[in-house]
Structure 1
Amino acid sequence: MSSTTAIKGFSTESGSRRADRVRLLAQPIAVVVIVGAVLVWAFTRDNDEIEAQSIQASVLLQKTWEHVLITLVVAAIVMLVAVPLGMMLTRSWAKPVAPVFIAIANIGQAAPALGVIVLFFLWTEWEGLWCAALPIAFYSLLPVLRNTITGIQQVDPALVDAGRGIGMSGSAVLLRIEVPLAIPLILAGLRTSLVLAVGTATLAFFVNGGGLGELVDTGYKLNRVPVLVVGAVLAVGLALLIDWLGALLEEYLGPKGLS
């Protein structure tokens, strides 16, 4: 009976691993095919003057790069803030204030993204990349913060005791045992944050932050469906590619032998 259960468990795990690998291969191919088909349709149709101004390679590349840049800046801010903060909040001396920081991060994600961006703009009177990236980072902070705390807290206490038993300091145990073992959960949180950031970055045009949201807004306001479709499909394709890259990071950067 136990051998049958083990075989079934092995089969299920192997099937899951195969499905993950198939998805890792199929997802970027699907994105390239769908985005490519939409771009071919947009460039080969008879566009009017307004549509032609937006549907040209230089404009699409510029808006896509602006979108990617916002996402990269948000990812850097989130990692530089959430991971050290999460590490700190797992220490015994900081645990009493951990609920306060988690509540603040929850507020950031629960609030409407557009409201957070506009309020930050009204407060700072900034415009451009940083006016979009900072509130979007606040909006995307929670998954990495929560997963960092959860990942460290789930480390086997016996491993922590073993590290201390061989003379390692508290910081050494944290950096050499707890954080490496928490990396899979941290990467999963980063993946979620990046997808949130890509989607929310479409709102950056409200504060002159650029991005693919400008194409979506132009197509909607001027009733130009091709411009709207191209902007939306590029944004969706970019989100799927970011999700795929996050899956690659989880697959290849996590500690080996834990799955």
Structure 2
Amino acid sequence: MVQFWEHLVLVAVSEFAALAVAIPAAILAVRNDRARSIVLGFGNAAQTIPTIAILFLAFPLIGLGFWPSIVGLWAYAILPIIVNTIKGIENVDEGTVEAARGMGMTDWEILRSIQLPLALPVIFAGIRTSIVLVIGTAYLAVFIGGGGLGYWVVAGIQGYNVPMIIAGALPGAFLAIGADLLLARIERYIGGEGGVGDLTPDAA
């Protein structure tokens, strides 16, 4: 049970950290072509490098344990949110944006009151993808002392203990499936309320 809660904390902290960086970075990328190339380049590089490599690269800088694990999971979580936030904002109807501008709204007001609310279903699809990815990837945190369900899987493999492997693998599988189903329902609800729910996000 301790490992399960450790796993949840790893997922939650890394996901909130990814949201805190990815959404502002994506907004900046929409408004500036140079920033766009930098932001997408970083996101693509973070997903191209294996997570276990990022974890071990973090080790010399911040040691073993929880925070190096968060760094690796954060890097893996960030790309789907960036991509979907950019796509969601860019697919908001230009006529709607121009009408708002004609009413005297500033760029910030348009972003806050029109673009982000209409883009929310697509952004949420990226968050859903990111969370499910991180639930699976968090198993690797055990290799640098981050804890989580990976402890049971690795210990079971080392001891040729199949029940222990299953005890570690099944909760993660159920967690990923449950999170995906719950987030899918929320996504459909948001899509029904919003104006761009029929868009197909790149990273979903």
Letter in 1 for 2:81: V
Bigger shift: residues 168-177 or 233-242: 233-242
Structure 1 range deviating more: 64-73 or 130-139: 130-139
- Percent identity over the alignment is 36
Q: Deviations over 1:203-243 (max 9, x none)?
A: 11112111000000000001111001111111111111121
Give the greater-gyration-radius structure (CA): 1
Q: 1:119 aligns with which of 44, 53, 57?
A: 57
Deviation at 1:254, TM superposition (A): 4.2
Instruction: Name the structure 2 match of 1:234.
Output: 171
1:15-30 → structure 2 map (5 Å cutoff) = none
8 A contact 2:29–2:36 mirrored in 1: yes
Q: List runs of 5+ in structure 1 lacking aligned partners.
A: 1-60
TM-score calculated relative to the size of structure 1? 0.73
Tell me the equivalent position of 1:163.
100
Contact 2:28 2:35 in 1 (8 A): no
Q: Please, which runs of 5 or more residues in structure 2 have no aligned partner?
A: 198-204
Take 1:149 and 1:99, find their aligned partners in 2: how far apart are those partners?
12
CA distance in 2: counterparts of 1:156 and 1:222, whole angstroms: 58
Partner of 1:154: 91
- Matches of 1:107 and 1:172 in 2, distance apart? 33
Equivalent residues in 2 for 1:72-221, closer than 5 Å:
72-91=12-31, 94-125=32-63, 127-221=64-158
Provide, for residues 113-132 of structure 1, a one-character-per-residue CA deviation record: whole Å limited to 9, x for no partner.
1111111112322x222211
CA separation of 1:206/1:97 partners in 2, compared to 1, >3 Å: closer, same or farther? same
How much is the aligned-residue C-alpha RMSD, in angstroms?
1.3
Q: Which amino acid aligns with 2:62?
A: T
Paired positions, count: 196
Deviation of 1:248 after TM superposition, in Å, equals 2.6
Residue by residue over 1:98-118, the C-alpha shift from the partner in whole angstroms, topping out at 9 and shown as x without a partner, is: 112101110100111111111
